[in-house]
Amino acid sequence: MKKFYLLYQTLIDGLAIFGTAVVLVVGGLQVWFRYMTDASLIWSEEVMRYVMLWLVMICAGRAYSARQFLGMRGLVELLPRPAVRAIDLASGVVTIVFLGVIAYYGADFAWRTRLQTASTLNVSLFWIHLAICVGPILLAVHVLVEEVLGFKLTPPSEETSS
Amino acid sequence: MSWLAGFFVVTLLAGMPIAFVLGVSALGYFYFTDQTQFLLVLPQRMVAGMDHFVLLAIPLFVLAGNIMDVGGLTRRLVGAANSVVGRFRGGLSLTAIWGAFLFGGVSGSAAADAAALGTVLVPDMKRQGYDVDYSAALIAVSSLMAPLVPPSIAMIIYGALSGTSISQLFIAGIVPGVLLACVLSIYAVWTAHRHGYPRTEALPLRRILRGFGEAAPILLLPVIIVGGIRGGIFTATEAAAIAAIYALLVSGLVYRALNWTFLRQAFVSTALITSAIYVLVAVANILAFIFAIERVPQMVVETLTTITDNPVLILLMVNLILLVLGMFLDTIGVLILTVPALTAIGQTLGLDPVHLGVMVIFNVLIGFVTPPVGLCLFIISAVTGRPVEKVSIRALPMLGLALCVLLLITFVPQVVLAVPNLIGGAH
Amino acid sequence: DPVSLRLGHAVFEAHPNHDTAARFKEAVERISGGDVTIDIYPARQLGDVKELMEGVQFGTVDMTVNSATALATLEPSINAFQLPGVIPDYAGFAELAVSDEARAIMDTLDKHGMIALGLYDGGQRHFLTVGEPVEEFAQMKGKKTRVPPAKLFVDIWQAVGVNPTPMNYGEVYSALETSTLDAVEINLTSIESEKFYEVAGGVTLTGHYFWPSFLLINKARFDGLTEEQQAAIREAANEIVEPQVMAVAELDETVKANLADREIPVIEPSASFMEDFNAAVAPVIESYSQDPLIADFVAAASASGAQ
Ligand code: NA
Ligand code: NA
């Protein structure tokens, strides 16, 4: 199980590095081509936007476990330990319901927009909008494991990476 | 609306992450008001919220900051600032303020500023006999300068939401940033005299020049950013990509401080921070839809203008509403929820959009250091290991000073607009 | 039962598309005797162009006045309305907007769950330059020109020979001011509302195409209304076409007068300029006319004595 999680984490990190690098390089090329040549890039904006959309959705669950989603913890933490656990459990369940609704309607949304094509890339928007189904599912799995099942997925050393 | 408010308060108090607080509240609202036909709007609005070109500035500026951090930039900036202001009583606290100012010229976010400077400076200040809570509070409040001095993620988002020129906003933030730094400096010197905080030895000019020489490649960045935008080479959003590429080149080629482990850490951390911000932006965009169908912006404008037609009072109330929202929500959340109403108010009062923008941003920045949800307070308390409440209390007088600067820029638009008018020629 | 419909659009209230919405509201409420009422949500309150179009498709927004080109990714024949030089002038626009050929193209949206009630205008487009205004066709060559990021516009402007540069609309003003861009193709009312005159070196009245918009309604919503309500909506949508289009023409004259007051040169291109321009874009029109619906519309436009 632990091995599987490490594999998953390595994969997500790899995609994170790749996606960020693509946005960086394409952003640089966009400036270069417009300023230095007579042929501005037409597709660069759209590529950056869509890569970023997929990137943040793929990383959302991992970001949750890296404690990047902040809340107002002051009051809750004053309560005794078991009460905190119960509240977090309830919050977790409600959150998973929300994410489930987004994933379900996200799939519906992606399907209903399949006939639209991106304006400069020859891609159906289905493939772009699918991200809003995948991201919430990954997030829900992380919330399930951490708040409902009670496992902490990220070593404390990584918690203050911001 | 009462369903929305009810869910919001309960989930917020329960300590749920803000992004989920907003999402669950929206879902509860649609379900209990029998508007489930709108559930399909939820993913659509989320995608629309995230699919903005200007938002790409977030990962790119965060990346630039991360690379510079692992590249040893913060130390050099602090060294440069200290070589000038260290000689005065309470010198290290002045270094914190002006280090934050310089760092703000590189970083687009107050959070990055607080984390970087807190790590570097608080241990030094403690060693010199500074009160740790005071040091932490000072750095937290100083970090507010990062989004005022260009580049600024908050300004990019405001510009995107309201259609205000981002490059004009960038330039307009400089004077309020300097003002905040000056006011904090006076307070720091006064505190230092009261508590007998030490000064460091005065350095000879040669050493000062050397310190600035070492930091020069970094200090050049804001010049490159503003110069590149004004010179027509890149747009304000694209400046983020240039900043990140420049950071890579400087850290790698000039300081030779990059290796694979550092880079990997910088890139992954960038993706994770950005991911959390994007999810928040996405969910806040659902709330914006609810506010639109409930006609909240119109209600706010009507209510305000019924209470009074005195523009001064209206502006004061706007400030108050923003400050209260800023206590509970983070910058981007506040901006997405309020910008429609604010632009309407601005049009009613005939305010300059750039002036309004800087005023709004200053307001939401203050939210970074107000409990219960103050991002910079959280970060600085995590970095220093001090309780949030203790740091908050020491931050109160400085917050009061920041509020004075806010009032000044609210009622004297020329403080904000003089520089953009001088450089830009427009407006 | 009386029915109330939500109409969202993506522009500020000074824009011709808002005028379309306001005229439709007035007309339908009058014709139906208050049986059909319209709530207008301006300025992207219910979403931007793409979300509004999807919203009408899904039924989460009842109606919208939305840029026609945004729907061309669903139905390519819609590109007919923006082929350069095909619609000659505002009067011709008003006439062609209610033609059978235009109706045939609009009806393709039925299968996407939307009804296009009518075709209106957002303003004829011209060529604004930061430097000296363009007086000869050859001067357009290589100018970094902001064009909306869609295949049709890229095809047209590459054929003209400018350097088509997509850019976020919100950044265009700064980009013109700092000469990141050399030019923008834009309608006259936007020059006024976006204050582009502050950074303009001149405007050449190329009038290359119009900026048509549809008044759209969700099909299921429409089919669920009574026959009287449907008739009132149809009648109102038709009635406002000509006055709306001609009102834009009038607005353009006001803007031209304002530009003259500000001493910004406004150039009427010579006949040879437009001949060169049309020759350059002819292959684009030809290639898009492979779509029979587009070919029919182009034929109807030239038959109406247009070209
Ligand atoms: Na900054
Ligand atoms: Na706060």
pLDDT digits (tens, 9 = 90+) for B45-73: 999 989 988 788 888 888 888 888 777 77
pLDDT value at position A10? 95
pLDDT value at position A2? 83
Cα separation, B121 vs B126, in Å, equals 9
The beta-carbon neighbor of C170 closest among B48, B163, B232 is: B163
pTM of the model: 0.89
C170 touches B: beta carbon within 8 Å: yes
Better-predicted residue by pLDDT, B417 or C31: C31
Mean pLDDT of chain B: 86
**H or E segment at C239?**
helix C227-239
Instruction: Enumerate the H helices of A39-130 as residue ranges.
Output: 44-65, 81-112, 125-129
A 10 A CB-CB count for C46 gives 24
pLDDT value at position C305? 61
Cα separation, A32 vs A46, in Å, equals 17
Query: Per the structure block, which two tokens stand in for C27?
Result: 């007309």
pLDDT value at position C306? 45
Backbone angles phi, psi at B181, to 5 degrees: -60, -40
In a domain, A161, yes or no: no
Looking at the predicted structure, is the pLDDT value of residue B304 above 60? yes
In a domain, A110, yes or no: yes
Looking at the predicted structure, is the pLDDT value of residue B235 above 90? no
- For residue A60, the distance in angstroms to the closest alpha carbon of chain C comes to 24
Q: What is the mean pLDDT of residues A73-81?
A: 87
Scored b (16 or more CB within 10 A) or e, C150-166 reads bbbbbbbbbbbebbbbb
307 residues of chain C, pLDDT tens digit each: 899 999 999 888 889 999 999 999 999 999 999 999 999 998 788 888 999 999 999 999 999 999 998 899 899 999 999 999 999 999 999 999 999 999 999 999 999 999 999 999 999 999 999 999 999 999 999 999 999 988 999 999 999 999 999 887 777 887 888 889 999 999 999 998 888 898 899 999 999 999 999 999 999 999 999 999 999 999 999 999 999 999 999 999 999 999 999 999 999 999 999 999 999 999 999 999 999 999 999 999 998 864 4
Rg (CA), chain A: 19
Looking at the predicted structure, is the pLDDT value of residue B253 above 70? yes
pLDDT digits (tens, 9 = 90+) for A117-141: 998 899 999 999 999 999 999 999 9
Amino acid at A76: V
- For residue A91, the distance in angstroms to the closest alpha carbon of chain B comes to 6
Looking at the predicted structure, is the pLDDT value of residue A151 above 70? yes
In a domain, A159, yes or no: no
Cα separation, A24 vs A26, in Å, equals 6
To probe the interface with C, which of A31, A37, A40, A45 has the most C CB atoms within 10 Å? Answer: A40
Query: Rounded to the nearest 10 degrees, how much is the dihedral formed by the CA atoms of C270, C272, C277, C279?
Result: 160
Number of domains forming the structure of chain A? 1
> Alpha carbon C167 to chain centroid distance?
18
- For residue B143, the distance in angstroms to the closest alpha carbon of chain C comes to 28
pLDDT digits (tens, 9 = 90+) for A6-19: 999 999 999 999 99
Contacts of B419 (CB under 8 A, 6+ apart): B171, B172, B174, B175
Q: Which residue of A has its CA nearest to B11?
A: A91
B256 touches C: beta carbon within 8 Å: no
pLDDT value at position B88? 85
Residues paired with C183 in a beta bridge: C129, C145
Cα separation, C124 vs C90, in Å, equals 8
Give the neighbor-by-neighbor strand order of the sheet with C114-121. C36-41, C3-9, C63-67, C212-218, C114-121
The beta-carbon neighbor of B382 closest among A56, A97, A160 is: A160
Residues of C in contact with A108 (CB under 8 A): none
Q: Which band of pLDDT confidence, cut at 50, 70 and 90, is reported for residue A155?
A: low
Q: How far is the CA of B286 from the centre of ligand 1 (A)?
A: 28
In a domain, A162, yes or no: no
Mean pLDDT lowest for which of A10-14, A100-104, B373-377, B393-397?
Answer: B373-377
Instruction: Enumerate the H helices of B294-352 as residue ranges.
Output: 296-307, 311-328, 331-349
Q: What is the largest CA-CA distance in chain B?
A: 73
Q: Which residues in chain B (203-262) have CB-CB distances under 8 A to chain A?
A: 233-234, 238, 240-242, 244-245
Q: Which band of pLDDT confidence, cut at 50, 70 and 90, is reported for residue B196?
A: confident
Better-predicted residue by pLDDT, B93 or A97: A97
pLDDT value at position A162? 36
Q: How far is the CA of B378 from the centre of ligand 2 (A)?
A: 10
Q: What is the mean pLDDT of residues B128-132?
A: 89
Cα separation, B88 vs B203, in Å, equals 11
Q: Which band of pLDDT confidence, cut at 50, 70 and 90, is reported for residue B329?
A: low
Indicate the SS3 state at residue B35: coil
Contacts of B94 (CB under 8 A, 6+ apart): B81, B85, B86, B88, B185, B188, B189
Q: Which residue of A has its CA nearest to C166?
A: A42
- For residue B412, the distance in angstroms to the closest alpha carbon of chain A comes to 35
Residues of B in contact with C175 (CB under 8 A): 232, 235
Indicate the SS3 state at residue C110: helix
Is C142 in Cβ contact with A38 (below 8 Å)?
yes
CB C162 within 8 A of CB C142: yes
pLDDT value at position C33? 96
- ipTM for this model: 0.93
Q: Which residue of C has its CA nearest to B235?
A: C175
To probe the interface with B, which of C52, C62, C178 has the most B CB atoms within 10 Å? Answer: C178
Cα separation, C111 vs B110, in Å, equals 50
Backbone angles phi, psi at C144, to 5 degrees: -70, 105
**Nearest CA among C196, C218, C242 for reference residue C61:** C218
pLDDT digits (tens, 9 = 90+) for B198-225: 887 778 888 888 888 888 888 888 788 8
Is B43 in Cβ contact with A109 (below 8 Å)?
yes
Is C150 in Cβ contact with A42 (below 8 Å)?
no
Residues of A in contact with B52 (CB under 8 A): 49
Q: How many CB pairs lie under 8 A apart between chains A and B? A: 199
Angle between helices A2-36 and B260-293 (to 10 degrees): 80
B285 touches C: beta carbon within 8 Å: no
Give the neighbor-by-neighbor strand order of the sheet with C202-204. C163-165, C144-146, C183-187, C125-129, C202-204, C266-267
In a domain, A87, yes or no: yes
**Nearest CA among C283, A102, C95 for reference residue B285:** A102
pLDDT value at position B325? 78
pLDDT value at position B373? 66
pLDDT value at position B425? 46
- For residue A150, the distance in angstroms to the closest alpha carbon of chain B comes to 15
DSSP 3-state helix, strand, coil percentages of chain C (rounded to 5)? 50, 20, 30
The beta-carbon neighbor of A120 closest among C74, C149, C180 is: C149
Q: How far is CA C34 from CA C23, C65, C244, in A?
A: 15, 21, 22
Better-predicted residue by pLDDT, A70 or A41: A41
Tell me the residue range of the domain where A61 lies.
2-154
Is B63 in Cβ contact with A20 (below 8 Å)?
yes
Is B40 in Cβ contact with C60 (below 8 Å)?
yes
pLDDT value at position A159? 41
CB B92 within 8 A of CB B304: no
pLDDT value at position B126? 87
